[in-house]
A and B are shown apart, each in its own frame.
Chain A
Amino acid sequence: MEFKNLKLSKKTTFVIWVLIIAFIIAAPSILPVFRLNLLGRYLSLAIVALGVDLIWGFTGLLSLGQGIFFALGGYCAAMYLQITSSSEFPNNIPEFFGLYGVDNLPFFWEPFRSPIFSLFAIWVIPALVAGILGFLVFRNRIKGVYFSILTQAALLVFFNFFNGQQKLINGTNGLKTDVTQLFGQMVGSESIQRMFFWFTALLVIAAWFFSKWVVKGRFGNILIGIRDDEPRVRFTGYNPVLFKTIIFSIAGGLAGISGALYTVQSGIVSPQFMTVPFSIEMVIWVAVGGRGTLLGAILGAVLINYAKSLVSEALPASWMFIQGGLFILVVTALPEGVLGWLQGEGPRNLLQKLGLKRKIETYPSLEIKNETEGLKNE
């Protein structure tokens, strides 16, 4: 896999952001409530995609288990909403416990009565789990395909565990949030959903700024160094384990925030958030948008999901084929994703192929790839 380090020019980034912000501001007045809610959900997915871009696009860690952290964030948010809205139910505990004859609240629910604890838990718990998992894996120098397989296996472990715990978290049914109360109103009500839309839009922008800050400068350069030649980083005196653990933990925290926002806007969190295809889709959004561009992750997540819902309405069951085709197209024709293609030589090459632009002359020697490249990974 070859990575190019893509730096979007300031102008392109600015133009894209103006368009995004204009659209976000206009959206509530031009979109019907249903569509606005969908857009809000997809914007929240952009945050998990930013995390995937940080660990995969920049650091070269292809995680197929981001669903774990996404779901953990969602569960934290849902537990808070359920426990604070449970006063009218028997024993003052969430309704579903009655179905399984549970009278006492499991201990780990208690702290979620506190809004402040819950607000922190949404990102701290996923970040901690990611940090611990990451540290154990990276310390043992597990990388590449083995890392991907391991994250997917971890995802399945979490999925099966959550699926089976009816008495603790309602198992496979998940936790509903739309009929809970927040600020004295139903979470599923239009006004609260509108508020969540704005909140999500702001957090996407904040997450982008944060990610940008993380990858700019020397820290980001070390991440790129780890991606391209990890032993070299090590021999220069840096400990890649620390850097990888930190970035994996950051991506986990972003996934948690994303999962919480997605949960409150879709009305339920369930182990379905931890299915294998969903975590793979996150990677596809980033691949299509453009690895290592950050903005590409946001555009990929929002546009692909929006397309998914439009296509699924018109032609049910055809989306999987389109998504598969899209991924194949990107891997074969646009290995740097749409933004990477736009930013690189893509448009010019296309114009040349169509005969609309003259080829630039180049020395034949410039085309020759560095022959020592194969020796690098002895």
Chain B
Amino acid sequence: MNKNTNSLLSLENISVSFEGFLALNDLNLSLKKGELRAVIGPNGAGKTTFLDVITGKVKPTKGDVFFKGKSLIGRKEHKIARLGVGRKFQSPRVFENLTVKENLEISVSTPKSPLNLINKKIKNDQLDEIEHLMKVINLSKKINSKAGALSHGQKQWLEIAMLLGQKPDLMLVDEPVAGLTDEETDLTADLLKSLSGDNTVVVIDHDMEFIRRLDSNVSVLNQGTVLCEGTMDTIQNDKKVIDVYLGRPEE
């Protein structure tokens, strides 16, 4: 037990094996409170499995995950979410048959018990929170339209807003700019940057320009383990990283 008390999240010697295939192999990673961290890696490096382990979707074969000093292993997904771990999925996963407002209501409502939802009206401060989130993502005019009718970029933003509405201490953001225009990508980068400090954010992406714009520490995953950690400049000059991921400069 070498629990680092400064860290909000720490993964210790995590291995995940899918029928003999090691998706994660002795992975160690720790995050300080308020940190913004980018995670990159080639396809199959274990990026999504890494998120699955933290959020409780996949049980590691070996190792432990500590969040705020508590082990997350063996906890159900919704319990981990209530502890303060929020996740945005790779492709936007909003509830398409509900309106933008209803989507946000689901995310900001607490307590999340059936009894509270069925016989109580949503609280006023939660409504204010929704108003605020609508402004952040610039969807105030679409408040009553079905989420399914939004454009791809708007869905990505709605999902980010839903993540914010959960008020998580740790945000795990999986490919937030996939399919976004350059302008939207820049806005998203700025949004995520503005969140760090108060929030701890992990961003997974392929888009190098986007990662560079985040201006954060970067962890490079390869074959289920951390290959290298540091600023964008450090890792771009790391020989191992160039070999497995970034490719030779002329590419």
State whether these chains interact: yes
Chain A positions near chain B (C-beta within 8 angstroms) = 3-5, 214, 217-219, 221-222, 224-225, 228-229, 231-240, 242-243, 246, 370, 372, 375-376
> Which B residues, 97 to 140, have Cβ-Cβ distances below 8 Å to chain A?
97-98, 102, 105-107, 109, 112-114, 117-118, 122
Residues in B whose Cβ lies below 8 Å from that of A243 = 114
Q: Is the CB of B98 within 8 A of A225?
A: yes
Q: Closest approach, in angstroms, between the C-beta of A179 and any C-beta of chain B?
A: 42
Q: Is the CB of B77 within 8 A of A234?
A: yes
- A selection of 24 A-B contacts at a CB cut-off of 8 Å is A5-B98, A218-B118, A221-B98, A221-B102, A221-B105, A222-B114, A225-B98, A225-B106, A228-B96, A229-B95, A231-B77, A232-B93, A232-B95, A234-B78, A236-B106, A236-B107, A236-B112, A237-B82, A237-B112, A239-B78, A240-B78, A242-B114, A372-B179, A375-B90
Answer yes or no: B47 CB below 8 A from chain A CBs.
no
Residues in A whose Cβ lies below 8 Å from that of B118 = 214, 217-219
Interface pairs A-B: 5 shortest CB-CB: A5-B97, A372-B91, A237-B81, A219-B118, A219-B117
Answer yes or no: B199 CB below 8 A from chain A CBs.
no
Question: Main SS of the interface on chain A?
Answer: helix
Q: Closest approach, in angstroms, between the C-beta of B193 and any C-beta of chain A?
A: 24
How far is it, in angstroms, between the C-alpha of A267 and the C-alpha of B165 when the chains are bound? 55
How far is it, in angstroms, between the C-alpha of A243 and the C-alpha of B112 when the chains are bound? 11
Q: Closest approach, in angstroms, between the C-beta of A7 and any C-beta of chain B?
A: 10
How far is it, in angstroms, between the C-alpha of A376 and the C-alpha of B155 when the chains are bound? 14
> Which B residues, 75 to 98, have Cβ-Cβ distances below 8 Å to chain A?
76-78, 81-82, 86-87, 89-93, 95-98
Residue of A4, A217, A219, A376 near B97 (CB, 8 A) is A4
Q: Is the CB of A246 within 8 A of B81?
A: no
Most A Cβ at <10 Å: residue of B77, B114, B148, B166: B114
Answer yes or no: B70 CB below 8 A from chain A CBs.
no
Residues in B whose Cβ lies below 8 Å from that of A236 = 78, 81, 106-107, 112, 162, 166
11 additional contacts, CB 8 Å, given A217-B117, A217-B118, A225-B106? A218-B105, A218-B122, A222-B114, A224-B98, A228-B95, A232-B93, A235-B78, A236-B112, A236-B162, A237-B78, A237-B112
Answer yes or no: B239 CB below 8 A from chain A CBs.
no
Residue of B95, B114, B148 near A221 (CB, 8 A) is B95
Q: Is the CB of B87 within 8 A of A235?
A: yes
How far is it, in angstroms, between the C-alpha of A234 and the C-alpha of B92 when the chains are bound? 16
Most B Cβ at <10 Å: residue of A221, A231, A235, A372: A235
Instruction: Return the chain B residue nearest A227 by Cβ.
Output: B97
Q: Is the CB of B106 within 8 A of A221?
A: yes
Q: Is the CB of A232 within 8 A of B77?
A: no
**Which interface class (under 10, 10 to 19, 20 to 34, 35 or more) fits B?**
35 or more
Residues in B whose Cβ lies below 8 Å from that of A246 = 114
Residues in A whose Cβ lies below 8 Å from that of B114 = 219, 222, 242-243, 246
Chain B positions near chain A (C-beta within 8 angstroms) = 55, 57, 76-78, 81-82, 86-87, 89-93, 95-98, 102, 105-107, 109, 112-114, 117-118, 122, 146, 148, 152, 162, 166, 179
Given contacts A218-B105, A237-B112, A239-B78, contact A224 B95 (CB under 8 A): yes
Q: Closest approach, in angstroms, between the C-beta of A283 and any C-beta of chain B?
A: 21
Q: Is the CB of A375 within 8 A of B91?
A: yes
Q: Is the CB of B55 within 8 A of A235?
A: yes
How far is it, in angstroms, between the C-alpha of A3 and the C-alpha of B96 when the chains are bound? 10
Most A Cβ at <10 Å: residue of B77, B89, B91, B97: B97
Residues in B whose Cβ lies below 8 Å from that of A219 = 114, 117-118
Q: Is the CB of B92 within 8 A of A372?
A: yes
Q: Closest approach, in angstroms, between the C-beta of B104 and any C-beta of chain A?
A: 11
How far is it, in angstroms, between the C-alpha of A243 and the C-alpha of B78 when the chains are bound? 13
Instruction: Return the chain B residue nearest A375 by Cβ.
Output: B91
How far is it, in angstroms, between the C-alpha of A225 and the C-alpha of B117 when the chains are bound? 14
Instruction: Return the chain A residue nearest B55 by Cβ.
Output: A235
Residues in A whose Cβ lies below 8 Å from that of B113 = 242
Residue of B76, B89, B112, B152 near A232 (CB, 8 A) is B89
How far is it, in angstroms, between the C-alpha of A229 and the C-alpha of B95 when the chains are bound? 7
Instruction: Return the chain B residue nearest A373 by Cβ.
Output: B91
Residues in A whose Cβ lies below 8 Å from that of B122 = 218
How far is it, in angstroms, between the C-alpha of A246 and the C-alpha of B117 when the chains are bound? 13
How far is it, in angstroms, between the C-alpha of A242 and the C-alpha of B115 when the chains are bound? 10
Residues in A whose Cβ lies below 8 Å from that of B57 = 231
How far is it, in angstroms, between the C-alpha of A224 and the C-alpha of B152 when the chains are bound? 21
How far is it, in angstroms, between the C-alpha of A376 and the C-alpha of B148 when the chains are bound? 14
Instruction: Return the chain B residue nearest A237 by Cβ.
Output: B81
Residues in B whose Cβ lies below 8 Å from that of A376 = 91, 93
Residues in A whose Cβ lies below 8 Å from that of B96 = 228
Residues in A whose Cβ lies below 8 Å from that of B92 = 372
Residues in B whose Cβ lies below 8 Å from that of A242 = 113-114
How far is it, in angstroms, between the C-alpha of A236 and the C-alpha of B105 when the chains are bound? 11
Residues in B whose Cβ lies below 8 Å from that of A237 = 78, 81-82, 112, 166
Q: Closest approach, in angstroms, between the C-beta of B188 and any C-beta of chain A?
A: 17
How far is it, in angstroms, between the C-alpha of A231 and the C-alpha of B93 when the chains are bound? 10
Residue of B77, B93, B109 near A229 (CB, 8 A) is B93
How far is it, in angstroms, between the C-alpha of A231 and the C-alpha of B55 when the chains are bound? 11
Instruction: Return the chain A residue nearest B165 by Cβ.
Output: A236
How far is it, in angstroms, between the C-alpha of A96 and the C-alpha of B79 when the chains are bound? 54
Q: Closest approach, in angstroms, between the C-beta of A33 and any C-beta of chain B?
A: 41
How far is it, in angstroms, between the C-alpha of A214 and the C-alpha of B117 when the chains are bound? 10
Q: Is the CB of B97 within 8 A of A218?
A: no
How far is it, in angstroms, between the C-alpha of A370 and the C-alpha of B81 when the chains are bound? 28
How far is it, in angstroms, between the C-alpha of A217 and the C-alpha of B91 when the chains are bound? 27
How far is it, in angstroms, between the C-alpha of A236 and the C-alpha of B87 when the chains are bound? 8
